[in-house]
Amino acid sequence: MGSSRGTVLRSLACHYCGERASTEDHIVPRADLPKPMAKVPYWFRSLDVVPSCLDCNGRKSWFRSDCACEHCTWAWNTAKNVFLPEGYVERGWIALQRNTTLALPLAEPVPSRDAYPGQDPSRDNRREQQALSS
């Protein structure tokens, strides 16, 4: 999720569903890009974001969306050819487009969040506890 101060929010429409945008979504998840982010040129980082509503941004998480527009296709192709390590395997696709004629077929079932080896399992528990205590 990004800051609401970014320039891509000028459109105020979610790139995925068309609802009002309130965040920025990284087309290629930051978790997949080299660390530190300073290794990734600014020209890519600035073009790797789209306006997104909170719901679509949260559901997309670190998966690839079904969006097949030129912008998303460019970002993924550039990342695969320049930044992502050889042998990189996507974690799966998630359908976000409300217009299903634009959606690509899902390549594979979306894995659970527990399938990502770098995840801290206690993080989800903390969020659930905070939500219950609110």
Preceding omega of 36 cis (within 30 degrees of 0): yes
Please count the structural domains in the chain.
1
Question: Is residue 20 included in any domain, yes or no?
Answer: yes
* 67 within domain boundaries: yes
Per-residue pLDDT tens over the stretch 63-102: 888 888 899 999 999 999 998 888 888 878 888 876 444 4
The answer as to whether 2 is a domain residue is no
Strands 93-94 and 64-65, bridge-based pairing? parallel
Are 100 and 87 spatial neighbours (Cβ–Cβ below 8 Å)?
no
Is residue 36 one of the residues assigned to a domain? yes
Q: Please indicate, yes or no, whether the overall pTM of this predicted structure exceeds 0.85.
A: no
Q: Write out the residue range of the structural domain in which residue 27 sits.
A: 7-133
- Residue 48 domain flag: yes
21-31 tens-digit pLDDT: 889 999 999 88
Q: Residue 37: inside a domain, yes or no?
A: yes
On whether residue 1 sits in a domain, the answer given is no
**Residue 96, domain member (yes or no):** yes
